[in-house]
Amino acid sequence: MHIVDGLPVNAFTAPTIESAWEILMNHPIHVVFCDDLLPDGQYPDFLKSVRSEHSMARFIVLLSSDDWEDFLEAMRLGVSDVLRSSCQPTDVELVLMRAGREVGQRQELHLAASA
């Protein structure tokens, strides 16, 4: 299941970090949804890499755990938002609206600064 099915966004899906990097290098990406359990690495390492190359991208992690410490650790690492992997479509919509607002504000600030 795609977490953004039915939402008005362009979405790319990548089963591994390696294939995600291919997408990130070839497309403008504003929001990254990432599972906490990856077949070829850990999300904190992927987050650091994304931040180093795409510092303005919002990074949302989908936690499979209900453990409060896992949530706090994700926030300490600099994740933009945390959702439980069993989240509802309205949760995803809310996160995307927040991300869209933030991206739009950054673009407006960039345009104002370059004028």
Q: Return the pLDDT at 76.
A: 95
Domain 17-114 is in which class?
alpha beta
Please give the residue that has the higher pLDDT: either 42 or 113.
42
Using one digit for the tens of pLDDT, what is the confidence trace for 49-65? 888 888 788 899 999 98
> What is the domain partition of the chain in residue ranges?
17-114
Question: Per-residue pLDDT for 1 more than 50?
Answer: no
Using one digit for the tens of pLDDT, what is the confidence trace for 30-53? 888 899 989 998 899 999 988 888
CB atoms within 10 A of CB 78: 12
Using one digit for the tens of pLDDT, what is the confidence trace for 68-111? 999 999 999 999 899 987 888 788 888 888 877 776 666 555 45
Measured CA to CA, the distance from residue 90 to residue 77 in angstroms comes to 25
Q: Return the pLDDT at 2.
A: 58
